[in-house]
Structure 1
Amino acid sequence: MAIATSGIFRFFDLPAELREAILSQLLVSDNDIILHNTTNFIPPLLNTIHFLNFFLVNMQMYQEASAIFYSKNRFTLNGQSHRLPVHLTSRGGFLSEEGQDARRRVRSLTLHLTRVGGEFERVLGPAISDMILSGSLRDLRLRLGPPSWRAPIRPADSDMVLRPPFQALLRLLADPYLETVELLAWKVHLRVLCPFHRKATTSSKKDTESVDDQGIAILRDGPGWIELDWKAMVKAFGGGQQIVTIGERKY
């Protein structure tokens, strides 16, 4: 039998498991992938390889490569500005109508917020809920950054946890379809979050925390990010909302 010497390598003749292993090496990043819009992610690797090069080969390559890209990478969404960035909400952006199919394929998401305000209730919350209910999102990490409005003329609102945007956040965290949920606050945070610190058992120092006259707490001699007991928050402020998983649901 004559052996072809054209140098052509038929990738799809490889077993499916080997194709997956090769594509995972090329498309899965050790670092979070920053979400800009549906087609402009930062490439996972610091070289000329871009995921779009794989997506555009043919339909079979798109199906196999995109499944790996969206399910095995962790994506980061930055919602820390007062208004959501235009590149996220404009046509083709990750939070736009055109971006719905792409965002529904994401399995792991980290969301950064400075404040839980109206745009979270109107845009971010519904989009992420849709990613869970109608999509593949199962791993959610939410980081509450330092308050951006710290000023003598505007003290912190003690009842913010009872307002609709924060209640929407609690409902999102308690979604039974989520498999992994993590809520963290920056070491400078609202006093209302202080009772929900999850202390690290390995810490050798006793963290000290002070609160100013505007209701802003500062944790000293501790880590930059503090894990919060979100289940306790739901029980305290969720208005009787129950935390269940899919296996515990009774119909």
Structure 2
Amino acid sequence: MATNKVFRLFDLPPELRGAIFSQLLVSNESVILHETTFFTLPSTQTWNFLNVFLVNMQMYQEASAIFYSQNRFTLNAHYHRLPTHLTSRGGFLSEEGQHARRRVRSMTIYLTRVGGEFERVLGPALSDMVLNGSLRELVIRLGPPSSLGANRTPHPDMVQRPPFQGLLRLLADPYLERVKLLAWKAHLAVFCPFHREVNTSTITDNETVDSQGTAIIRNSTGWIELDWRAMVDVYAPGQKIVRIGDRNY
């Protein structure tokens, strides 16, 4: 007479359970922040990973720890205003989403402009994720200048204004372990002296600037990494960059 065999997952050593959860919940691609505090895994993974979290409390504690710490999360703020699904009640940037976002270790942010909502909402949320949470790796991609301001020349003291200064303070946070700042190949001319791959303090021969202060690198196919440390030195000289473990006493 055949008997049903029961596989008891929690009889396995913690290391094996962790390996299983990693296979189920960790993606080589970025996890997209989607409606409220839910996330979407890449399209190749069609099952709902939340089912794993709902098995029982031990499963949730072990599996969610791996999910939040080992995935890279992407937040798309390529809008004039932050998307309402991020800021409304239950959203990732809302008060109810605080516990979830504090558990994220690695994040990429897409920005079109560093404006008032970055200063009021996104910047403080990211700083809280660093200071009171687990955020240690941050990539910020500044996309092409918004078409909403296509006929408007950037203000000459933009980098001295509170939103941009808030961005520089965030990048220089000593608890962040890995930081990258990138701009699209079409970007504000104020970023030109900080192209990491260009050893110069001027606009290069293959770069043009239009009457609205937008620079375009002709032979580039995408993103340009910026030397954000040099940017902090120039535009926020009072913001000393100190990395944990690098202090001299």
Normalising by structure 1, we get a TM-score of: 0.92
Q: Confirm or deny: 8 A CA contact 1:139 1:180 kept in the other structure.
A: yes
What is the deviation of 1:43? 2.8
| Identity between Structure 1 and Structure 2 (%) | 70
Secondary structure at 1:125's aligned position in 2? Answer: helix
Alpha-carbon distance change, 45 to 58 in structure 1, aligned in 2, over 3 angstroms:
farther
Q: Deviations over 1:205-250 (max 9, x none)?
A: x971000111110011123100000000000001321110122347
1:135 aligns with 2:133: yes
Equivalent residue number for residue 56 of structure 2: 58
1:220 aligns with 2:218: yes
Equivalent residue number for residue 20 of structure 1: 18
Q: Confirm or deny: 8 A CA contact 1:207 1:220 kept in the other structure.
A: no
Equivalent residue number for residue 105 of structure 2: 107
Amino acid at match of 1:114: T
Whole-Å Cα distance in 2 between the matches of residues 26 and 106 of structure 1?
17
Amino acid at match of 1:232: A
1:1-251 to structure 2, matched below 5 A, reads 5-44=3-42, 46-148=44-146, 149-152=148-151, 154-199=152-197, 208-249=206-247
Amino acid at match of 2:54: L
Amino acid at match of 2:136: R
What is the deviation of 1:6? 1.8
The number of residues matched between the two structures is 243
Secondary structure at 2:39's aligned position in 1? Answer: coil
What is the deviation of 1:79? 1.0
Q: Confirm or deny: 8 A CA contact 2:79 2:112 kept in the other structure.
A: yes
Alpha-carbon distance change, 16 to 38 in structure 1, aligned in 2, over 3 angstroms:
farther
What is the deviation of 1:5? 3.4
Amino acid at match of 2:87: T
Normalising by structure 2, we get a TM-score of: 0.93
Whole-Å Cα distance in 1 between the matches of residues 60 and 150 of structure 2?
50
Amino acid at match of 2:17: R
What is the deviation of 1:155? 1.1
Alpha-carbon distance change, 207 to 222 in structure 1, aligned in 2, over 3 angstroms:
farther
Runs (4+) off by over 2 Å:
37-40, 43-49, 149-152, 248-251
Q: Confirm or deny: 8 A CA contact 1:38 1:102 kept in the other structure.
A: no
Unaligned segments of structure 1, at least 5 residues:
none
Alpha-carbon distance change, 163 to 59 in structure 1, aligned in 2, over 3 angstroms:
same
Q: Confirm or deny: 8 A CA contact 1:207 1:222 kept in the other structure.
A: no
Q: Deviations over 1:74-129 (max 9, x none)?
A: 00001111111110001110000000000000000000000000000000000000
Deviates more, 1:77-86 or 1:173-182: 77-86
Q: CA RMSD in A?
A: 1.8
Whole-Å Cα distance in 2 between the matches of residues 37 and 179 of structure 1?
29
Q: Confirm or deny: 8 A CA contact 2:119 2:162 kept in the other structure.
A: yes
Secondary structure at 2:19's aligned position in 1? Answer: helix
Whole-Å Cα distance in 1 between the matches of residues 231 and 45 of structure 2?
44
What is the deviation of 1:158? 1.9
Amino acid at match of 1:55: F
What is the deviation of 1:49? 2.5
